[in-house]
Structure 1
Amino acid sequence: MKKIILGLSTLCLIAFTSCKENAAKKIDEKNVAEAAVRDASASKFPVIEFEEKEHDFGEIEAKTAVSTVFKYKNSGDAPLVITDIKSTCGCTVPQDWSREPLQPGESGQFTVKFNGSGSNKVSKTITVTANTEKGSETVKITAFVKPDPNAAAKKPATPTIQAK
């Protein structure tokens, strides 16, 4: 048993001391320069700036469709790509945004349509998914939806109880 341990120890000692080549000599300076350029450009992100981050429609009648346009600008150092725009519910529909990269300094826009559902103060959040540093930005629409005057005229049917 002692011979086996002594033999393995000797083998390990020979294996560790035989690699005398310095690992630093294997580094290619060309690769280091390319990595530095890549890392510098990887830290550049597009920045989306909105003209307004919240739009208030004011008072609207129930079931009245309204729309607004959110304008934005890429104020970052890299092309801006918007991959998706979603709202919190189906009553608010974002549409008409460019799926093409927006170069630094260029502007774009998208439309948000709200169908007037709900009652009283209504607030909806629209999430813009893009290649910004955060990955997503949000804008809001708000409105005060007045009750439908025709709804007051309709009274709900009261259930009748039949005696046996």
Structure 2
Amino acid sequence: MKKIILGLSTMCLLAFTACKENAASKIDKSNIAAAAQRDEQASKFPVIEFDKTEHDFGEIEAKKSVSTVFNYTNKGEAPLVITDIKSSCGCTVPQDWSRAPLAPGESGKFTVTFNGSGSNKVSKTITVTANTEKGKETVKITAFVKTDAKATNSPVQ
């Protein structure tokens, strides 16, 4: 019985030692270098920097459309790709942005149009979806919408 256990132990030891040598000999040094370079590139993200993160239209008339332009620059180390720009409601329309990759150091812009709906102090958020580290960036517009004098003074029938 002792001979069987000793024989099995020896076979297991040889098997584990043989596997370790075969695995080590199969590693290709060029694959390690390529993986290190790939991992280094994967940690580089574009960084979007806006010229302003909030725009105040001030006091505007109800139902009057107003627009502003948000300029941005890619301050990161990888190309910036903006996939979508959406607002918090349908009364604010972002438009005219480039969907082409923006190289590091290059600039772009998009226009935001607000249709003047609501009353008093109004604030809307515009969400920019891009390939940045956070994935989403936000800018904001605000306005004080004056109520329509005709609508408030008309008689109720």
- TM-score scaled by structure 1? 0.85
Instruction: Establish whether residue 89 from structure 1 lines up as the match of residue 89 from structure 2.
Output: yes
Question: CA shift at 1:36, angstroms?
Answer: 0.5
Which secondary structure state, in structure 2, belongs to the residue aligned with residue 93 of structure 1?
A: strand
User: After the TM superposition, which segments of 4 or more aligned residues of structure 1 sit over 4 Å from their partners?
Assistant: 12-17
For residues 70 and 130 of structure 1, the distance between their equivalents in structure 2, rounded to whole angstroms, comes to 15
Instruction: Establish whether residue 39 from structure 1 lines up as the match of residue 39 from structure 2.
Output: yes
Question: CA shift at 1:129, angstroms?
Answer: 0.2
Letter in 1 for 2:145: V
Which secondary structure state, in structure 1, belongs to the residue aligned with residue 122 of structure 2?
A: strand
Return closer, same or farther for 1:96/1:13 CA change in 2, 3 Å cut-off. Answer: farther
For residues 145 and 71 of structure 1, the distance between their equivalents in structure 2, rounded to whole angstroms, comes to 25
- Measured on the aligned residues, the alpha-carbon RMSD in Å equals 1.8
Question: CA shift at 1:92, angstroms?
Answer: 0.2
For residues 141 and 155 of structure 1, the distance between their equivalents in structure 2, rounded to whole angstroms, comes to 34
Which secondary structure state, in structure 2, belongs to the residue aligned with residue 18 of structure 1?
A: helix
Deviation per residue, 1:45-72 (Å, 9 max, x gap): 0000000000000000000000000000
Return closer, same or farther for 1:15/1:61 CA change in 2, 3 Å cut-off. Answer: same
Question: CA shift at 1:98, angstroms?
Answer: 0.1
Alignment of 1:132-143 (within 5 A): 132-143=132-143
Residue equivalent to 2:15: 18
Deviation per residue, 1:63-102 (Å, 9 max, x gap): 0000000000001000000000000000000000000000
Instruction: Establish whether residue 101 from structure 1 lines up as the match of residue 108 from structure 2.
Output: no
Question: CA shift at 1:150, angstroms?
Answer: 1.0
Alignment of 1:114-153 (within 5 A): 114-153=114-153
- TM-score scaled by structure 2? 0.88
Which secondary structure state, in structure 1, belongs to the residue aligned with residue 17 of structure 2?
A: coil
Residue equivalent to 2:52: 52
For residues 13 and 138 of structure 1, the distance between their equivalents in structure 2, rounded to whole angstroms, comes to 66
Alignment of 1:64-79 (within 5 A): 64-79=64-79
Return closer, same or farther for 1:142/1:13 CA change in 2, 3 Å cut-off. Answer: farther
Residue equivalent to 1:111: 111
Question: CA shift at 1:13, angstroms?
Answer: 8.0
Residue equivalent to 1:160: none
For residues 110 and 76 of structure 1, the distance between their equivalents in structure 2, rounded to whole angstroms, comes to 19
For residues 24 and 84 of structure 2, the distance between their equivalents in structure 1, rounded to whole angstroms, comes to 46
Question: CA shift at 1:18, angstroms?
Answer: 2.0
Structure 2: tracts of 5 or more residues without a match: none
Which secondary structure state, in structure 2, belongs to the residue aligned with residue 89 of structure 1?
A: coil
